[in-house]
Amino acid sequence: MSRIPIFIEVPEATKEANICAKAVQVLLEQKIEPVGLATHLAELTDVLKQLRENGLEASIFIVNTFKAKEIIAQLDPLMGEVPAVYLRRGMYAGQSGLMDHMPEAGNVGSTMATLKNMTPRLTSIWTYGAKNVEQVSQRIVRCTQKFVTDGNFRHYEIENKAGG
């Protein structure tokens, strides 16, 4: 069975930090297919529907949270238990709405409340800035190439620690 990565990046992000669009382009050039790219919820729903109709499913979601505050909460049910990598623009950290849905370190009450509201899944949160968009995009490509081959989410975790 194919391991299919799905990238999510709102159009506003592609003007400044199009990590997902760049990564998808490289993966397709390297003949890693299929790969999904959605720029809004309706498009994501269509991509997931097409996969199901062909007996396939997403194996990982890579989400650029930059300027995506409006859709973050709605992604959770669409992603199910599939692993996710969230890309956060460092300069705008706290503005994407991502952390509204993640547990705060050391806050047990908040952690439990958040976990009850979110679908359990493997998660890695990467931070990037304007000066390292290309580097982060390349790292995501490397990890996705490995993940598509063996399905091991640790590639993203290890690369995040090494490059972050």
Region of residue 80 (phi > 0: left; psi between -120 and 50: alpha; otherwise: beta): left
pLDDT digits (tens, 9 = 90+) for 107-123: 444 333 444 566 778 98
Note down the domain range covering 51.
Answer: 4-163
Q: What is the mean pLDDT of residues 116-134?
A: 82
pLDDT digits (tens, 9 = 90+) for 97-110: 445 544 444 444 43
CA 56 to the chain's CA centroid: 19
Which range scores top for mean pLDDT: 7-16, 77-86, 106-115?
77-86
- The count of other CB atoms within 10 Å of the CB of residue 114 is 16
Q: What's the pLDDT score for residue 100?
A: 52
DSSP-derived secondary structure letter, 98: G
Q: How far apart, in whole angstroms, are the C-alpha atoms of residue 84 and residue 62?
A: 6
Q: What is the CA radius of gyration of the chain?
A: 15
Average pLDDT, the chain: 82
Lowest average pLDDT, out of 27-31, 60-64, 135-139, 160-164, goes to: 160-164
HSE toward the beta carbon, residue 50, CA cutoff 13 A: 13
Q: Higher pLDDT residue, 115 or 24?
A: 24
Percent of all residues in the chain with a pLDDT value above 70, rounded to a whole number: 79
Q: What's the pLDDT score for residue 96?
A: 44
Q: What's the pLDDT score for residue 92?
A: 52
Tally of domains in the chain: 1
pLDDT digits (tens, 9 = 90+) for 144-160: 999 999 999 999 999 98
Here the CATH number for the domain that contains residue 134 is 3.40.50
Assess whether pLDDT exceeds 60 at residue 131. Answer: yes
Q: How far apart, in whole angstroms, are the C-alpha atoms of residue 48 and residue 112?
A: 29
Cα angle 125, 128, 129; round to 5: 155
Q: What's the pLDDT score for residue 112?
A: 38
